[in-house]
Homo-oligomer: A and B are copies of this chain.
C-alpha cells in the first residue's frame, strides 16, 4: 500500500515517522511533482497539480475538520474524501467556546481591566436566563460544544440543516426554523461547514435577529461572516461584541480593523488545532479499514460539500 503526504505549511518528517510506526506495512512518502501514483493521500491545502497527477487515489484524508478549501479543487473521481472526526478537536473547540462565553457572560475581561487599574470592583451578577446560547452546526464539534455549555446551566439552542437531537438542547432545523433559533439566542456560536449555502450566513439580516446585546463567536470559517455587517451592528449597539478565531483572509491583514476594535477579541485560528498524534492514529486506522474494504466514518458527501 502506498501513501502520499501533501500538506502545505506542515513539516512532513514527524508525520511520516508517525505513519510509518502506525502502518509498518505501508510505504509513505512526501509528495513531489511527478511522483508515482499512490493509493491514499494525507493532505492539507494541496495544489491542484497534486490532484491532477494522483488519479488512482482511493482515499484523500484531510488533516482538518473543514474541507471547504479542498472541495473547491477538482478531485480524482474515484477517491473518497475523508475529514478528521474529532482527533482531540472537539474538546479543544468546547474549551475555546466555553472560555469565550464565560469570559463575556461573567465580565472577566472587564474585571481584568479594573484590576490593571488597581480597582477592586463589583459588577452586578448577570442573569443566566437572559443569556441563551445558540449553536449553529450540530456535527461532532457543535454537538460537543452545545453539551459543554449545558454543563454550566446556560439555556442552549441548536440549529442544523437536518433535524438533530442533543440532550438538554432546544434543537431547530432547516431554513423554516432559522429565524426562531436566531431570535431566541443572545450568544451565537458558528460551527457550520462552509458551503455555498452557508457562505455569509452571519450578515446584517440574520445578526439583527439576535437578542439585543448579542455576542458572536465564530470558530468555523471566515467566509461565514460578513465582516462589515458585524462591525456596524456592534458600533450601532445592537451587538455587544464578538470573539473571532477565523477570517476571510488569514493571517488577518495588518491594517484590518478587527485587530484594535475594543469589542472584538481576535485569536489566530487557534480554537481547535490538529493534534498530530491523535490525527495519525485516526487516519491510520481509517486507511487500514478502507484497505480491508470496511466503511469508514467522516466520508464527505461531495454534493453537500461536507
Contact = CB atoms under 8 A, between A and B. Distances in A.
A170 interface: no
Interface string A79-113: 00000000010011011101100110110100110
Given A102-B98, A106-B96, A268 B91 contact: no
Contact of A268 (B98, B122, B273): B122
A148 to B, nearest CB: 6
Nearest to A245: B111
A109 to B, nearest CB: 9
Nearest to A125: B273
- Chain A contact-residue range equals 35 or more
A74 to B, nearest CB: 30
Nearest to A95: B102
Contacts of A106: 92, 95-96, 99, 270
Interface of A: 88, 91-92, 94-96, 98-99, 102-103, 105-106, 108, 111-112, 114-115, 118, 120-123, 125, 128, 147-148, 151-153, 250-252, 254, 259, 265-268, 270, 273, 275
